[in-house]
Homo-oligomer: A and B are copies of this chain.
Amino acid sequence: MLKLRSRFVYHSQMTKGILSYQDVRQQTVALCASLKTEDFCAQSMPDVSPTKWHLAHTTWFFETFILSKAMARYRSYNDCFKYLFNSYYNGIGEQFPRESRGLLSRPTVEEVLDYRKKIDQQMVALLRNKKQKEKWNYFVQLGLHHEQQHQELIITDIKHVFSLNPLQPVYKKKAPKRNVSVGKMNWVRFNEEETLLGHEGVGFHFDNEGPLHRATLIPFQIANRLVTNGEYLKFIEAGGYKKSQYWLSKGWEVVQREKWNAPLYWKKEGKEWFVMTLTGIKKVNTSEPVCHVSYYEADAFASWMNARLPSEAEWERASQEVSLKGNFVQKKSFHPQPVEKKNQQVLDQLFGDVWEWTRSPYVPYPGYVASKTAVGEYNGKFMCNQMVLRGGSCATSQDHIRSTYRNFFYPEDRWQFSGIRLAKDL
């Protein structure tokens, strides 16, 4: 019924590639290579989960939604895990309280790794059977994309854990320093048009990316690159955190209550701003994209700039102009920090580096119906009070992201790699 324009098909073709079970599973463990046993256990705030929990929960997903259903007389690895590693699937049963995950010293890391091994053996056996593989393909792919999301959380969560430790642990050795100058922000213009929004249905995607639907865009312009630390610093120095007029009402409340005066992980020593990264504490680099800001801060900054954040429709329309590449997690080596980049004059940095806050609340697309199965709890029930972010970050895997991908967090959340791209009415 809806006519798909050619530019739209572009990215969705890219994502048709099927993820490899072993690759994704091994990558999760590989991300933990530099962690000590003790690091796997800490929960620094209710939003953060211990690494150990991520390792077990992603495994629980395959055991619960595939093995226990695919295999006759399946014997669970440990009956208690059903409760301990269920995140929020009420359809599966009760859950161990989220905010208490850090209190569990058992199972040990070794036991969790054994759990992974045993489930992997059974999964690999299952997938060797062609008929079974076909039958469970959707859930396997869902589980792998789900696991990729937790790979990102492993990175963001351990960063938060390390940030509270006066001993300043480091996740990764420092990367070589770049030295590029970021030019002036430019604006890319889009006319009024009717566009198509959402995933057209071919290739893996989450159900919240559909249905594909028409949306009317008013004329707008969008910044060609991300907002930098340097630009954000000017906002701080102009008293941005002290002037209520830039802030949403709830945002201003949080600023006062939490005494926010800069992005998360920034700290002023004397006259100099420093930032804690996964490679250690360093001076704030004014050329790098600003990161770890909440929606409230992104919105206030935009306000101060006499601009606004893009809607997700605008962002998605703009993303159709560029190819899907950027600063992502690479299998072998990656830099868990957004990077500065020489100005391209054209639309850039849409993918990778930082998730970009949009002004769009996370709501169902017209015609969306949440699945009634337990797996359906994945998306629908969170469609309230959260904001959509787009484009992936330096902690995202490239084969995880799409131009239609909708991430979502609460407006006060800052511990994700979240940044800012500006937009304006034309």
- A residues at B contact (CB < 8 Å): 36-44, 52, 78, 80, 83-84, 88, 90-91, 96, 100, 102-109, 161-162, 164-167, 169, 194, 213-216, 218, 244-245, 247-252, 295-296, 299, 311, 359-361, 363-364, 366-367, 369, 372, 381-385, 411, 425
**Contact flag A367-B425 (CB < 8 Å), given A84-B166, A106-B167, A385-B411:** yes
B167 touches A38 (CB 8 A): no
How far, in angstroms, from A169 to B382 measured CA to CA in the complex? Answer: 35
**Contact flag A90-B38 (CB < 8 Å), given A166-B80, A385-B250:** no
How far, in angstroms, from A39 to B43 measured CA to CA in the complex? Answer: 14
How far, in angstroms, from A44 to B102 measured CA to CA in the complex? Answer: 9
A245 touches B90 (CB 8 A): yes
Closest 6 CB pairs of A and B: A361-B361, A90-B244, A38-B105, A39-B105, A249-B381, A42-B105
**Extra inter-chain contacts (8) besides given A83-B166, A361-B361, CB under 8 Å:** A36-B105, A38-B108, A41-B41, A41-B105, A42-B104, A84-B167, A90-B245, A213-B218
Within the complex, the shortest CB–CB distance from A403 to chain B, in Å, comes to 21
B249 touches A106 (CB 8 A): no
Name the residue of chain B whose CB is nearest to the CB of A372: B245
Name the residue of chain B whose CB is nearest to the CB of A410: B385
Chain B residues contacting A384 (CB-CB under 8 Å) are 248-251, 295-296, 299, 411
B88 touches A249 (CB 8 A): yes
How far, in angstroms, from A360 to B218 measured CA to CA in the complex? Answer: 19
**Contact flag A103-B385 (CB < 8 Å), given A108-B38, A363-B359:** no
**Contact flag A100-B164 (CB < 8 Å), given A37-B37, A248-B383:** yes
**Contact flag A80-B167 (CB < 8 Å), given A36-B108, A103-B161, A213-B218:** yes
A106 touches B169 (CB 8 A): yes
